[in-house]
Structure 1
Amino acid sequence: MSFFHTKSVAQLENDAASSSLTKNLTAFDLTFLGVGGIIGAGIFVLTGIAAARYAGPGLALSFVIAGVLCILVGLTYSEFASIIPASGSVYSYTFASLGEGMAFLCGWSLLLAYTVTGAAVAVGFSGYLAGMTASLGYVIPDYLLKTPAEGGLVNLPSIIIILLLCFVLIRGTKQSAKLNAILVVVTLSAIIAFVAIATPHADMANLNPFLPFGTSGVISGAAIVFFSYMGFDAVATSAEECKNPSRDLPIGIIASITICMTLYICMSLALTAAVNYTMLDTPEPVAYALRLLGWEKVANLIAVGAIAGIITTLIVYLFGQSRIFFAVSRDGMLPAKIGKIHPKYHTPYIVTTLGSILIAVISGFVPLMHIVELSNTGTLAVFFVNFIGIVVMRRKHPEIKRKFRCPLLYIIAPIGAIVCFYLIYELSTLTHALFAGWIVIGLIIYYVYGQKHSKVIEEAELAAQKKA
């Protein structure tokens, strides 16, 4: 029954207390980390594709639906974070509430989500870089920008940027947070500038019909753009590097989601009002729209802001992925050596390197939309489990002191779980099949390796032997 063996809050607290990760992140750092992880790819890359293929001008409603769901998830995350200050976000939360096996599958799903989402963001980086360089007179050859399935050789810029950021992350968390904060300011400036420029060009004819694909299009759009909010999960994965996690994590999570949902709504409305949604099927929709409107030079400046936002998102996803790897390997369910901490920089350098290489390979050789849908399935499945886990935790351990309590939990949790399930249903059958295959692989790894090497099970068996 080790699949359902839980890890106590005291054990998770001990993990955090004994961690060699440096505790230097504040609520300000966490908010910027969340904003940096959320506003990059979703606002600069996916707005155009989602509007053209799924929701039209109704994309703003798609962002509202996805954002409200993430706020509900954020409220439950905040309660968990206030009592479990350990790395791993939902992985650690599920270990305490539903048991080892479910925790491993959540960690396995998060690894998928961070990996393929990071790859999708890197593809967006290539699109903006290519558009900006082309307008300056240098054209990057198509075969270095497209995957083999798209008629090219490799998406080379995406690989290069990931490997560069891998080096930055290995150098240290605080340094990465400072770079992230600077880039977030640049990105916010670009967003404000675009909205200010595009709004006077708004044409109500572009918003009619507002729902060209109907209500189902808005729901499908929400399922597609959902991944763009995922950056807030990385805030929770940073628990062991926070100065005061029980106070700062809830602030960082809720503040970053709220700020970014507001930005998404403003940006999507300004974009689809200024340019007809049918013309936005491009990985650089914001800069492309400005060029159509006659703002060529400004488009290049906005592209710089977009690239800054995409880089911040990549930093956050690479960071979150490595912390999930770190948490699972520390518990023995993946080889412990890969979670080794660098003696000088105090970062999990091996998993950061391995994860970055994996993301780089996917971004270089897999088309964008296949990446996005698979990422969303993994994230939504994890959030579905999280809604169940928080209810179980509240009922099984009401005695644990909570510095933050999710309001109206028994209303929020069922609604959130239903919405997650429905959004998963809206994704393609191929995506469902690929995700099911990923889970089967995870179960095989758990039963063949993870269960046999689980440190928590070993500790439980030793304790039982001592009692006997």
Structure 2
Amino acid sequence: MTAPASPVAESQARPVGPLQLLALGVNGIVGVGIFFAPAQVAAQAPGASAILAFALTGLALVPVAFAFAVLGRRFDSDGGPVVFARAAFGERASFLVGWVAYVSAFLSTSAVVAGLTHALAPSLGLAGPLGQRALASLLVTVLAGVVASGIRVSARAWTSLTVLKLLPLAALLIAFLALPGPRPLVAVASAMDTAWLRAGLTVMFAYQGFEIVPVIAGQVRSSSRSVPLATVGSLLAAVLLYVGLVWACVVALPALASSPAPLAESAGVWGGPGLAWWVGAGTSISALGICLGMMVTTPRYLSALASGERTLFGMEAMSPAGVPVRALAVTWGLVLLFVNLGDLSELFALSSIAVLMQYGVTAAALATLSWRRERGLRPLHAVLAVPTLALGLTLVAFGATSREAATTALTVVAGLVLLRLARPRVTAGTSPATGT
């Protein structure tokens, strides 16, 4: 009988602690979008309706987070939705889920890196496209170097960036709440003046990110406890933060819908120019945190889809420091290629459907495994899948564009081709020719 690993041994083998995992989830949710989303939502849900849209949409996503949490505590390996799909539906489904998630992730990473360097290059004296691409290439390489140095170093880096991005947002909330005098009342818009579904779609995409928590489960101490707490906790923390920030914007800016930088402008109202500058600078810090988080998690989709019944050019190989080195090298090369292609505004075309696919597959896997009573699940757990599937189908039906659908179809076809190229895994005593 094998003795259980000691806490010290587990800490060395699995360096990511619960607070660092929570920071990863918060970092994944609180990206660049929240700095601009209040104005976009206010255009569809004026006045206090914008606050309600953020609150209600956040609460609607809680069952989704619970679905990820329930499965996340039962799968002690990297991959998240990829390993969920493999257990419930087999190799082909998990491979396609992992491939779509991977393609979406590295394209989104390229777009965020390009956007960040486009904003920073002029202040660094790097004018023109050539300077911006050089800065983007340098940033991608530095981030890949940080990730390659080990999951322990990456965890410290993303935790530090998460704290740095939250500080100005917390300062804005404190300034808003601490200002003497009663908060002015803002009316809820009438139903005819509120496009609730479109507002909810915009808000939902601002809440994306908690689904990445189970992707690194194999590197987390006490993952059966840490993964559920970080998944649900990061979403609930974001709901409280977002509702407060949007409330501050709605009260401070009567013309919120037309504001180009609503958080920075409301910070100027509540805390003066200094706070406005700090919140504005937080946009770049937040983007940097998102870039690092994506560079950590994106290669793990690739390594997870290569760790099943078929091997894919050794992409599942893991370094002693807990890094899928070949998958990271491929991801670095692809992101480096795309940030040097020019306009990357179209690279987000796959992101919304990819995330909704992960929601749907996770819900379906939870329902399937619950009815089978596998992994300690019971049929009652399948109840969590119902609101998740309903939400995903609604958002795909009303929110997905034809361009997103076409991009997804092409990605799936490419995934099927790649699956054909993947070789069956050879285990000890097994012949690749005969399977015996």
Choose the corresponding residue for 2:273, options 296, 307, 324.
296
Distance 1:321 1:459, change over 3 A: farther
Amino acid at match of 2:237: I
Q: What's the counterpart of residue 51 of structure 1?
A: 41
**In structure 2, which of residues 404, 410, 417 is the aligned counterpart of residue 431 of structure 1?**
404
Q: Distance in 1 between matches of 2:367 and 2:176?
A: 45
Give the counterpart letter for 1:82 in structure 2: R
Which amino acid letter does the alignment assign opposite residue 425 of structure 2? K
Deviation at residue 391 of structure 1 after TM alignment? 0.7
Which runs of 5 or more residues in structure 2 are unaligned? 1-11
Change beyond 3 A, Cα 1:90–1:399: closer
Are residue 380 (structure 1) and residue 338 (structure 2) matched? no
- Listed as ranges, the matches of 1:210-359 within 5 Å are 210=189, 214-216=193-195, 218-275=196-253, 276-281=255-260, 285-287=262-264, 290=267, 295-331=272-308, 333=310, 335-342=312-319, 345-359=321-335
Equivalent residue, structure 1, for 2:7: none
Distance 1:86 1:202 in 2: 50
Would the aligned equivalents of 1:223 and 1:376 in 2 still touch at CA under 8 Å?
no
Q: Deviations over 1:283-324 (max 9, x none)?
A: x54335546889333333223433333222222222111111
User: Is residue 92 from structure 1 mapped to residue 83 from structure 2 by the alignment?
Assistant: yes
Assess, with a 3 A threshold, how the Cα gap between structure 1 residues 62 and 209 changes in structure 2: closer, same or farther. closer
Displacement of 1:210: 4.3
Distance 2:38 2:294 in 1: 19
Deviates more, 1:78-87 or 1:88-97: 78-87
Tell me the percent identity. 19
Q: C-alpha separation between the residues in 1 aligned to 2:45 and 2:402? A: 20
Most deviating of 262-271 and 207-216 = 207-216
Q: Measure how far apart 1:202 and its partner are.
A: 11
- Measured in 1, the distance between the counterparts of 2:134 and 2:192 equals 35
Which residue in the other structure is 2:9 paired with? none
Q: Which secondary structure state, in structure 1, belongs to the residue aligned with residue 77 of structure 2? A: coil
- The structure-2 alpha-carbon separation of the partners of 1:445 and 1:220, relative to structure 1 and needing over 3 Å to count, comes to farther
**Equivalent position SS for 2:288:** helix
CA distance in 2 between counterparts of 1:160 and 1:65 reads: 41
Distance 1:168 1:112, change over 3 A: same
Measured after TM superposition, the shift of residue 329 of structure 1 is: 2.0
Q: Which segments of 5 or more consecutive residues in structure 1 lack a partner in the other structure? A: 1-20, 145-151
Larger mean CA deviation between 248-257 and 225-234 belongs to 225-234
Q: State which of 4, 9, 24 in structure 1 corresponds to 2:15.
A: 24
Identify which of 131, 134, 141 aligns with 1:163.
Answer: 141
Taking a change above 3 Å as real, the CA distance of residues 265 and 433 of structure 1, as seen in their structure-2 partners, is same
* 2:299 and 2:328 in contact (8 A); partners too: yes
- Range with bigger deviation, 254-263 or 359-368: 359-368
Give the Cα–Cα distance (whole angstroms) in 2 for the partners of residues 194 and 302 of structure 1: 8
- Deviations 1:312-360, CA, capped at 9 Å, x for gaps: 22222221111111111233656233343346x4412332232234345
Question: What aligned pairs does 1:370-409 form with structure 2 within 5 A after superposition?
Answer: 370-396=346-372, 398=373, 400-401=375-376, 409=381
- Provide the rounded CA distance (Å) in 1 between the counterparts of 2:291 and 2:323: 17
Task: Tell me, in whole angstroms, the C-alpha distance in 2 between the residues paired with 1:272 and 1:363.
Answer: 36
State the TM-score, normalized to the length of structure 1.
0.77
Contact 1:54 1:213 in 2 (8 A): no
Q: 1:271 to 1:459 in 2, by over 3 A?
A: farther
SS, match of residue 25 in structure 1: coil
How far residue 87 of structure 1 moved from its aligned partner, in angstroms, is: 0.8
Cα distance in structure 1, aligned partners of 2:125 and 2:249? 26
8 Å contact from structure 1 (residues 231, 316) kept in 2 = no
3-state SS, counterpart of residue 16 of structure 2: coil
Number of the residue aligned with 1:64? 55
| Count of paired positions | 419
Deviation per CA, 1:380-439, whole angstroms, max 9, x where unpaired?
Answer: 02211211111100111x15336xx89x63433122111111111222222222222222
Match of residue 25 from structure 2: 34
Q: What is the CA-CA distance between 1:221 and the residue it aligns to?
A: 3.5
- Distance change in 2, residues 1:356/1:267 (3 Å): farther
| Structure 2 residue aligned with 1:183 | 161
* Structure-2 change in CA distance of 1:173 and 1:154 (3 Å): same
Q: TM-score, structure 2 length as denominator?
A: 0.82
| CA deviation after TM superposition for structure 1 residue 233, in Å | 2.2
Report the Cα distance in structure 2 between the residues aligned to 1:124 and 1:269, rounded to whole angstroms: 27
Farther off after superposition, 293-302 or 420-429: 293-302
Root mean square deviation, CA, Å: 3.7
